[in-house]
Structure 1
């Protein structure tokens, strides 16, 4: 499927200057990302060295696991940005919402935090598809949200048919590639699917999904092959629309 490739790249070397990250877990103490403000500050300093110069913080909101609200996220953001260096990097806050019935309830109460305007970052369960997936997506769409699906390459139940991805795209869902998927960080199967979706022009945006220094190191130490470097470079620039 992919052309023969000789060149391998460190992921950090593919990022354009002033890359904007729209998916990360930098806010301290509210999910499985940074635990303290000090850790937030250290991660931001490391991300700047990767050419990531601005970001939108997207902590998890996941019923019964990370029960975040607009208020808890706002407080964590304010705590993290007391430091001026952090404030210049963390430009906004939103959330990565698990798609389930509790999300629909939150939406009907008007509590959802968007990345930009009405762009809403969603994730699905990793191992099994919601039985009413399209019904919930429809409810979100009729509220005039634009849906960005985080890391579609990681949902194994979509892997057996490219038509499942195409159906989501036809439904108006935007796809956000986890950059680390290209390195094999989540496994070879997910790496292969990420390359397939990239080659098929199904991605719209990208994100680091950085939680800790473990992910930072992947950007610096793992070389990867990209079937079409120019296509990848173009994709990486798409995030710029979110901080205009």
Structure 2
């Protein structure tokens, strides 16, 4: 029993120097994340306590629900910058785009907001596997985007046949792990899948997907039971590629 408890650790203790969070909802009032500038300040403070060095906010762009544009996100970012006294924590801005037909229409009209260079963060629908998934990914790649799929462990329609994760990865996309998945925040099933993908080295990057103070507290107080902390540590190191400083 003693060895079981020794296998648990807190994610903040593994954070490398200059870790950049590439998936979060810090910008106030434009999606289901922070609601006010004050909440943005509080979330940034909490992230610093988790040993996170900086963040690239990625508010949702989801037509019909979160109708963000490049200009609305820039405006929210400019406001958020004023909440960062030293202007060192926020490292730019991007978006978490829902992969659907409206996104494909968008890329034919304008450039998407990228995390860095041509890395673009996309999420898949939660409840139904798009029948044209690979066609849409192809369209994005034809525009020279490097596609990061947000939290693949949360798409339950892949759970019954985990070979679908391998097929998706083999299509040339990157996988981003939600750190909250490792704490069991989204449930044991998603935690199990996240651990499996991590064990099989299918992840490329990590993100917190922090929306609110509850997420901060979860990452602060819930240990990670995954026994191989070296795998998590090495994965966290990959995010340093997004640190331009």
Q: TM-score, normalised by structure 1?
A: 0.95
Question: Partners in 1 of 2:195 and 2:56 — Cα distance?
Answer: 25
4+ long deviations beyond 4 Å:
none
Q: Is the 8 A contact 1:22 1:58 kept in 2?
A: yes
What CA deviation, in whole Å up to 9, does each residue of 1:188-220 have, x standing for no partner?
A: 000000000000000000000000000000111
Displacement of 1:126 in angstroms is 1.0
Instruction: Kindly indicate which of the two structures has a greater share of residues assigned to strand.
Output: 1
- Counterparts of 1:1-150 in structure 2, within 5 Å, are 6-85=6-85, 87-150=87-150
Q: Indicate yes or no: 2:196 matched with 1:196.
A: yes
The count of aligned residue pairs is 241
Give the structure 1 partner of residue 232 of structure 2: 232
Q: Is the 8 A contact 2:18 2:240 kept in 1?
A: no
What CA deviation, in whole Å up to 9, does each residue of 1:25-70 have, x standing for no partner?
A: 0000000000011110111011101101111010000010000000
What stretches of structure 2 of length at least 5 have no aligned partner?
none
Q: TM-score, normalised by structure 2?
A: 0.95
What CA deviation, in whole Å up to 9, does each residue of 1:133-173 have, x standing for no partner?
A: 11111111111101000000000001112211111111101
Q: Is the 8 A contact 1:80 1:86 kept in 2?
A: no
Change (3 A) 1:86 1:111: farther
Over aligned residue pairs, what C-alpha RMSD do you find?
1.3
Change (3 A) 1:141 1:34: same
Give the structure 1 partner of residue 221 of structure 2: 221
The SS at the match of 1:103 is helix
Displacement of 1:84 in angstroms is 3.9
What stretches of structure 1 of length at least 5 have no aligned partner?
none
Give the structure 2 partner of residue 168 of structure 1: 168
